[in-house]
């Protein structure tokens, strides 16, 4: 450990962020790393604990505690403190295929379980990780790694999100011929279209990595919708490839089937986010907006997670009239509750970038807690005009908590655009049915974690399609694991980590 007293002497310092009122004028990333010396000082805060929980990757109370891909966090924190950035990058790549993605969009369960976080603000692990990989690209240290030998085996990876890309990367490095199939017009899955550009730059970050993977020998086929495409069917994949890995995500969005749902102006969040990013990329961020936009509208986002936050930030950049975010759960406490001890993920109140931007424009956090939507209102032409909402309380009914309306709280709020960001129910079933795969009680593909084998020999499943809606870092964990087991299936043994 480079500086044993670093955590006593140095305060936590986050990456710089552009002013909220300024950054909503464009779609560029708004976080800035700052000087190397600042980041080195933050690396010095790492205590090199005897038992570092940050890279344990356990599930505690149903939530990730520590890094699911077991990043060697204390090692590369120490290396950047010592100004040995190249070695820090090597350590980072041992466990993480795409640190430029996780360093931007991961919620950092590693920081939630940081031992320093018991008594002080935790180490800036996520920002340190992002700084390492960004410096690696700037210095030219990240270059194509072309496998020296090929095995003659062919693998199809269906889906190009973080699970599919990490799986393809690992299998390619093992020497297999890998083809990645993507139904959209660009590679990246939710990395490309599900996360807005100001949070994860598509051309400079996502496409840069896709181009690198292509240079290493991975083939990409876009516009191919397995399960719907008449040419590329499940049968053809099984005939043409030695193994198949399905990484199609859990893209079936949760709907809200209440009165008035058929009103014009109600959309699933991912429809809104996808159309916007695709339009912005096609039009080179020229200052115009797609036909599905929030310009001049009163927007209501239903759902308080990351996707809801992305809808808030996108609506503000469109120039909405107002934005409200409805959350059915209670407002989290300012500090950990007694039933949420370290190293569990801290369920505490915080404002993400979208709420910060809304507060800067509107004067307050846009979230309203313990609120339920009773019905949607529409005019004679069928266009959305508002919502009837009410306050709720959670009532314990024989051990099960359910929402109960608080009498006298029903009210109408105006809205011309409602975005449903209430999570995802599971994978779309067409491809599941075409492969005749077994599913679990939640409609996810049945495949044991660690083995990733489905009910069909030679077909593997990984990521949200197998585990349900989760984090990018879990998708990378699953993609790597499925690649390892796929390699073992093809070769009898495997050297993949």
406-425 pLDDT, tens per residue? 999 999 999 999 999 999 99
What pLDDT sits at residue 58?
Answer: 85
Q: Are the beta carbons of 1 and 50 closer than 8 angstroms?
A: no
What pLDDT sits at residue 57?
Answer: 85
pTM score of the predicted model: 0.96
What pLDDT sits at residue 1?
Answer: 63
Question: Domains in the chain, please, with CATH?
Answer: 6-138 (1.10.1060.10), 154-252+425-491 (3.50.50.60), 255-422 (3.50.50.60)
Q: How many CA atoms lie within 13 A of 300 on its CB side?
A: 23
What pLDDT sits at residue 287?
Answer: 94
What pLDDT sits at residue 49?
Answer: 87
Q: Are the beta carbons of 123 and 110 closer than 8 angstroms?
A: no
What pLDDT sits at residue 104?
Answer: 97
What pLDDT sits at residue 479?
Answer: 98
Q: Please, what are the averages of pLDDT over each run of 10 residues along the chain (497 residues)? A: 86 95 97 92 91 88 91 96 97 97 96 95 97 97 97 98 98 98 97 97 98 98 94 95 97 96 98 98 96 98 96 98 97 95 94 98 98 98 98 92 96 98 94 96 94 97 95 96 98 96
């Amino acid at each position: 450990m480079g500086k044993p007293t670093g955590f006593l002497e140095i305060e936590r310092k986050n990456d710089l962020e552009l002013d909220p009122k300024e950054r909503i004028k464009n779609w560029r990333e708004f976080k800035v790393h700052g000087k190397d010396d600042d980041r080195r000082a933050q690396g010095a805060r790492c205590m090199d604990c005897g038992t570092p929980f940050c890279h344990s990757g356990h599930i505690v109370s149903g939530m990730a505690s520590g890094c699911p891909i077991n990043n060697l966090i204390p090692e590369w924190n120490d290396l950047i403190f010592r100004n040995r950035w190249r070695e820090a990058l090597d350590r980072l790549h041992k466990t993480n295929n795409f640190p430029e993605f996780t360093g931007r969009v991961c919620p950092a369960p590693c920081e939630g379980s940081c031992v320093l976080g018991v008594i002080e603000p935790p180490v800036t692990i996520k920002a340190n990780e992002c700084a390492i990989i960004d410096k690696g690209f700037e210095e030219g240290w990240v270059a194509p790694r072309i496998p020296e030998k090929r095995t003659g085996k062919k693998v199809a990876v269906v889906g190009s999100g973080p699970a599919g890309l990490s799986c393809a990367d690992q299998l390619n490095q093992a020497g297999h011929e890998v083809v990645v199939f993507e139904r959209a017009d660009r590679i990246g899955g939710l990395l490309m279209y599900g996360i807005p550009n100001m949070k994860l730059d598509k051309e400079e970050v996502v496409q840069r990595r896709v181009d690198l993977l292509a240079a290493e020998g991975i083939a990409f086929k876009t516009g191919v919708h397995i399960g719907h495409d008449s040419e590329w069917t499940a049968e053809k994949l099984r005939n043409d490839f030695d193994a198949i890995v399905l990484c199609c995500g859990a893209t079936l969005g949760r709907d809200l089937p209440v009165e008035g749902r058929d009103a014009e102006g109600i959309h699933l969040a991912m429809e809104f986010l996808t159309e916007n990013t695709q339009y912005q990329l096609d039009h080179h961020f020229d200052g115009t907006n797609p036909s599905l936009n929030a310009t001049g509208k009163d927007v209501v986002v239903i759902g308080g997670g990351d996707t809801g936050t992305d809808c808030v930030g996108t609506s503000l950049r469109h120039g909405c009239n107002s934005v409200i975010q409805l959350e059915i759960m209670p407002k989290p406490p300012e500090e950990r509750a007694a039933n949420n001890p370290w190293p569990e993920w801290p369920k505490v109140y915080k404002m993400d970038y979208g709420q910060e931007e809304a507060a800067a424009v509107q004067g307050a956090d846009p979230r309203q807690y313990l609120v339920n939507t009773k019905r949607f209102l529409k005019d004679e032409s069928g266009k959305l005009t508002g919502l009837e909402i009410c306050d709720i309380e959670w009532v314990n009914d024989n051990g099960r908590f359910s929402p109960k309306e608080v009498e006298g709280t029903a009210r109408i709020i105006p809205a011309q655009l409602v975005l449903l960001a209430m999570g995802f129910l599971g994978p779309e079933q067409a491809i599941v049915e075409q492969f005749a795969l077994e599913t679990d009680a939640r409609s996810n593909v049945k495949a044991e974690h660690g083995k990733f084998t489905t009910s069909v020999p030679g077909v593997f499943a990984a990521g949200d399609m197998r585990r349900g809606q989760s984090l990018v870092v879990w998708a990378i964990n699953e993609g790597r694991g499925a690649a390892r087991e796929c390699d073992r299936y093809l070769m009898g043994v495997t050297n993949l980590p």
